[in-house]
Chain A
Amino acid sequence: MTLSVLLSLFTLERILLSIIGTIIGIVFGAIPGLASSTALALMLPVAFSMDSYTAIIFLSNVWIGGCSGGLIAAILLGIPGQSSSIATCYDGYPLSQKGQSVKALGIGILSSFIGTVGGVLVAYLFCPFIAKWAVKLGPWELFSLCFCAIILVVTISKGDIWNGLIAASLGLIFSCVGFSPIDGAKRMTFGIISIYGGINLLALILGIFALGQILKNVAKGKTTNPNVDMSGIRGFGLTMKEFVSNIPNIIRSFLIGLWIGFLPGMGSGLSNMVAYASAKGSSKHPEEFGKGCIEGVFASEVANNASVGGAIIPMITLGIPGDTPTSILLGALTIFGVEAGPLLMTNSAQFANTFFAACILAAVITLAIQFFGMRSFPLMLKIPFEYLFSAISVICFVGAFSNTNTLSNCWLMLIFAFIGLFLYYAELPTAPLLLGFILGPMLEKNLRKGLTYATNGVWSFFTRPISCVLLLVAIGSLVWPIIKSIINKRKLATKGDAQA
């Protein structure tokens, strides 16, 4: 298809709708409790009044805007609007606390743009090739990948390894509640109907990260907002040198994001944390992570947006959605009579290309809107603490309610606010808990499938090369700190002997 045909598809009306769609997406992404999937679900009926091309352009803009909006709340308030921006909080929020919120936002916005455009371009170029290879991944590889991801996040979390593992196991425990995967046995529901479907992810995130954090701040007597330093900010607020030194980090995070987004069932919620973990692991100064290190913001935001491109690949080529937003988009495609799958690229090439172009356009619009808004977003922090956070608490309740349209979700959120307070009190890290919770069902499903399909039981996880490497990485990173401390002790001992 020639470029001119593609350009003719983007009329003024469609471009205006794209801008509106992106703004809706960013707003949804930025409000804690509402995510791009919520925005898509709510805009779906609106899109039905349009023709199929306009609708897909509009919806992809809502989607991309929503994926990038989460960073605003994460950086300014330390509340991840959705699971894809959890790792952004770790360094973005401390940066903001130091008065560098504009810089953190600039990095986040730029990284989001790089991640989205790169991801979509890769998806466009490699869709057909990757699809063929992907079908060969079995439950063994998926299990080992989830396992490895959890262990990696445990090892990077602050405090000792016991605390990290305890948090991860608590996450796994919470993920067990509700119907079990595969056979649907009721587990730990105690007759409460609202948790039959499992613990609501949003209630857990809002409870621990939003309300739990407010409770913690009150307990610590931290009831003032940081000052915002707006002087001397030009462009994205970061120097060329800082950007250049982060290029390896960006490339690595991009590949991680793309790869994880591409795997079904695991999207940006996982990729941002894994990219963060690997950025910390390969950094020259890992001790600065969590205290306001720009590499952490780069890693998290490049990865979560690269997952968008990754998720497009299986959606377009196989008809398998990688996460919730793509499954809604896939639903929209079906309603418009477009069947996603291996034949889409040949039967409706123009439609597929429009979709890719719309995603790129969305990334550009998001960049422009956020770039101009960047200087005004931090003004939010000028609102006194008590007004800002009482309003946020109310929004959390409304968000939790609207997610399921039941008040039981609000109760659940309160329970998790209490659990969050306990975690902060006990100094248990929150990231492993969340990852354990998100990946728990995947881990269990693939473990059971793997054991059922295999002829040699548990060993099948070690006899498949990719799976074996991932498991060895996980075990290695768990054992390595212990070995390292023993070696260090021996070195000290021999030094001491030599001196004596």
Chain B
Amino acid sequence: MKMNKDRWISLCLILFALIWIWQASKIKPLLAVASEDVGPKLFPYFAGSILLVCSIGKFFSSKEKGKPFCTKEQWITVGILLGTLVAYVLLLYLVGFFVSTPPMLFALVYLLNGRKKPKVVKTIIFAVVMTAIVFLVFRYVLSVMLPMGILFD
């Protein structure tokens, strides 16, 4: 049997289902509500078993597909994009919305633009103005709270 993309995905899912079922066996019921009650473990077992059975089914029924999802370069861009988003949340936690949003917007414009080169000045203006708009709209029009950062709190 040859391994292909679908089979690798199925294997990952099977592994996840097994870990899930193992973890589900450790759930402790708080109290006995009624003697007929099946308890909090049944449903996680049920969901995990469906996943297990279907992943095995997928493993054996998989067919080879020609087209790859994307190229290696595109994977790298996606990786950097994910990293930027993680960094943004970290910055939101530390320095808050005002300081972290303009650089994040600037970085995102560069990452999302594909092959074209965005203009630096235009992007900087966009980043600052957008931050101001989001702040004003959310804080004063919609009266929503924004993270202010632990360093400035």
Chain A interfacial positions (CB closer than 8 Å to B): 27-28, 34, 42, 160, 162-163, 165-166, 168-170, 172-173, 175-176, 180, 182-188, 211, 214-215, 218-221, 223-224, 384-387, 389-391, 393-395, 397-398, 401-402, 405, 407, 410-411, 414, 417-418, 421, 424-426, 440, 443-444, 447-448, 451-452
Contacts and interface: CB of A to CB of B under 8 A. Distances in A.
A218 B78 contact: yes
Nearest to A187: B27
A444 B43 CA distance: 6
A218 B77 contact: yes
Contacts of A223: 112-114
SS of A interface (majority): helix
B38 A451 contact: yes
B4 interface: no
Contact of B89 (A34, A395, A411): A411
A422 B112 CA distance: 19
Nearest to B135: A398
B104 interface: yes
Question: Can you list the 4 inter-chain pairs with the closest CB atoms, starting with the nearest?
Answer: A390-B108, A172-B47, A180-B40, A223-B114
A444 B47 CA distance: 10
A447 B43 contact: yes
Contacts of B51: 166, 169-170, 173
Nearest to A211: B85
B33 A183 contact: yes
Contact of B61 (A160, A182, A221, A444): A160
Contacts of A185: 27-30, 39-40
Nearest to A168: B50
Contacts of B20: 173, 188
A390 B27 contact: no
A394 B130 CA distance: 9
Given A224-B114, A452-B36, A407 B93 contact: yes
B36 A451 contact: yes
B105 interface: yes
A405 B114 contact: no
A31 B42 CA distance: 38
A359 to B, nearest CB: 23
Given A173-B51, A220-B74, A398 B144 contact: yes
Contacts of B36: 451-452
Given A169-B50, A394-B104, A417-B85, A221 B114 contact: yes
Nearest to B8: A426
B15 interface: no
A211 B93 CA distance: 19
A218 B55 contact: no
Interface in B24-74: 24, 27-31, 33-34, 36-40, 42-44, 46-48, 50-51, 54-55, 57-58, 61, 69-70, 74
A215 B130 CA distance: 21
B126 interface: yes
Given A173-B20, A394-B104, A401-B92, 15 more contacts: A34-B144, A42-B142, A180-B40, A182-B40, A188-B24, A218-B81, A219-B69, A219-B75, A221-B74, A223-B113, A401-B145, A410-B92, A414-B85, A426-B6, A448-B38
A48 to B, nearest CB: 14
B86 interface: yes
Contacts of B27: 180, 185-188
Given A165-B54, A393-B85, A398 B134 contact: yes
A387 B138 CA distance: 19
Contacts of A28: 142
B89 A397 contact: yes
Given A173-B44, A218-B112, A425-B69, A183 B85 contact: no
A42 B85 contact: no
Contact of B108 (A188, A220, A393, A417): A393
B124 interface: no
B112 A452 contact: no
A382 to B, nearest CB: 15
Contacts of B78: 215, 218-219, 421
A220 B70 contact: yes
A389 B86 CA distance: 17
B128 interface: no
B58 A163 contact: yes
B109 A386 contact: yes
Nearest to B28: A185
A397 B48 contact: no
B30 to A, nearest CB: 5
Nearest to B107: A390
Contacts of A224: 114
Contacts of A397: 88-89, 92
B146 A398 contact: yes
B136 interface: no
Contacts of A188: 20, 23-24, 27, 44
